Amino acid sequence: MAPEDAAARRPPPPEGDQVDPATARIDLIPLEAAVVRRPDSLPAMRIDQLILHKGLAPTRSAAQRLIERKAVRWLGPKGWTVPSKAGEDVPDEAQVEITDASELRFVSRGGLKLEGAIAKCGFDVRGRTCLDVGQSTGGFTDLLLDKGAVKVVGLDVGRDQLAAKLRGDERVVCYEGINARDVAGSAFAAEWPEASFGFITADVSFISLTHVLPTLFSYLAPGGDLLALVKPQFELQPAQIGKGGIVRNKAYFQDVETRVRQCCRDWPMKVHAYFQSPIEGGNGNTEFFIWVRHPEPATPAA
């Protein structure tokens, strides 16, 4: 049988199913309406935002520090899960737990760094007025108050960074928008004469510490101590810094130490110790502390 004869023998389609090609129209279903959602699908939220929303951390940056340190877990269908990154989405009704709250003892990780350094050096800051250069969020300031300092004067080139709990503390004085490299003419310089502080801490970024040390030394009282964080990533040339801003060649660490020590001797100041920070930088960089003491004034001749 010829194909055309077979087509002729087919029964016509039901009247209601007939389509006129000239007037045919295809109705498209919106994509979002075509998505089939699983019955167990729940609204999701970034894990760092969820931690903050649940009141488990004071700030989003604090929540991110907890996540970086693997100190967070959430309960999912397969049991407890440790998030791998701050941007990981989890159900916003998920149960979340902090497994190690040590990151939250101070307003930033700087407090943990300084705590270890002060313990190593055996400093006692009880009853002292301290200067904190590069105050930022206030991690060092928080630690100094916790250890008994009666007042902490902070200096920072930025603005509106100090944690709320410290900004409202009457023991804290915060001078903002002042570059520690040159404080001449600033409100800080007008209110605090040189050699005013028996204990100074420093944590500066995006500038070499050697550019700031002259100011610190001028405000250090005779016999006073300086404990400063040394960040190699801000002491080296761009070609010496690896991907992600991390210094991977440990040979450069000695170069940094040599330059920082020499800067101290040029004044002259006495370097008592140079040692690795017990806590890494937030991006995994190795950091160091230098302990410098202002030499006691010479005994007057009889």
For 76-130, the DSSP string reads ETTEEE--SSTT-EEETT-EEEES-GGGGSSSSTHHHHHHHHHHHHT---TT-EE
Q: Would you say residue 166 has pLDDT above 60?
A: yes
CATH number among 3.30.1600.10, 3.40.50.300, 3.40.1110.10, 3.40.50.150, domain 110-293: 3.40.50.150
Residue 44 amino acid letter: A
Which CATH number applies to 42-104? 3.10.290.10
Q: Would you say residue 125 has pLDDT above 90?
A: yes
- Residue ranges of the chain that CATH labels 3.40.50.150: 110-293
More confident residue, 137 or 13: 137
Mean pLDDT of the chain: 86
DSSP 27: P
Query: Which of 165, 177, 180, 223 has its CA nearest to residue 199?
Result: 223
Q: Would you say residue 289 has pLDDT above 50?
A: yes
pLDDT band at 5 (very low <50, low <70, confident <90, very high): low
Rounded to whole angstroms, the Cα distance separating 145 from 127 reads: 10
Give 90-110 pLDDT, tens digit per residue.
Answer: 998 999 999 888 778 899 889
Strand order through the sheet with 197-202: 172-176, 151-156, 129-133, 197-202, 220-230, 288-293, 270-276
The 3-state DSSP class for residue 239 equals helix
Least-confidence region, from 18-27, 35-44, 230-239, 247-256: 18-27
| Alpha-carbon distances, residue 287 vs 87, 110, 230 (angstroms) | 27, 12, 6
DSSP 265: H
The secondary structure element, H or E, covering residue 154 is strand 151-156
- Residue ranges of the chain that CATH labels 3.10.290.10: 42-104
Per-residue model confidence (pLDDT) at position 271: 97
